Structure 1
């Protein structure tokens, strides 16, 4: 991305792209079986993979926002210098061609995929994770959504049916103050197996422990 064009906060990766450590906690009771632990880890993996897709969508939005700012700046400069529209559009042509290469370059700006640093179980099950860039932005957004759903279920004694998950996801996305990607675009990235995994994760009492100064995409 063009470092000369500063991104708005909602489009910035957390911690300026530096590694972020966080903890996902699940209350599953004592003496859980290996199968119960394995299922939750598999569902967490699915949530993280969805987060990677959300992160990529945000990285693309950031790249295109920077390109649009460059185009707008060039147009203003052209008007100031007295250039005609033909000259301005001719100058835009290379930039428009660069949009595809900018989208490809986003792959270098995604950061580090989510990794497991440590897992401990004594109730809660605690997954110590880290990552950076838009990968961690997307993962944290998905896990925040699951945590919020879990809290609502507990507070209101509700059960969200699996076929209602997409509606609940849309409501959650629309409610977020900092959402640089249209909610419908992120919703379209939730697959059927994702919905099932998110539903199971939210059925537990869960918590997400984040650094105090986390910022960026869908930050609190």
Structure 2
């Protein structure tokens, strides 16, 4: 079984070394690169295409939100776990709405980070328990609460395409074939859509697409 390839981004070299030792001690994952700034994290993610990027929110060289949004578009198969000192629900909401798959506070890194990496590598969302409890459907809180059309305004063109096809009942394989993507990438888009829109299942996603008029005259399942 292939190991989970991880890129570690933090501006503190000592912490990066510790994280590298922790991750490389696991039989199912390995660190394939390190970055000390947001700019370097973006560049190395493009070069190395890791399965998972652990990203500190507060580093030099741009903003974490920009990195997350950019990689969500350019490298959707790379799942981002935010690893930060900020245990504030506001930071959590911003990161998850931007497209992060996981959020872990550094105080809990020794017990949660490895689980988070494994979780997001499977295309699932991982959130720090206390922040998830404190934040009521975080993604929705960061987009206009005035109806489905405004909710969808936060999506990229490709996210809209995936949303429409999934709502039509197409399988992940069918979506991948139609849009010339890998199944893994489609799974990443689906999980990100659920997070951004505050949805929990295909039924809710389909209802939203119908209310927004995305399914007018559409075809059925493959």
Q: Normalising TM by the smaller chain, what interval?
A: under 0.3
- Which has the larger helix fraction? 1
TM-score (norm: length of structure 2)? 0.23
TM-score (norm: length of structure 1)? 0.23
Give the greater-gyration-radius structure (CA).
1
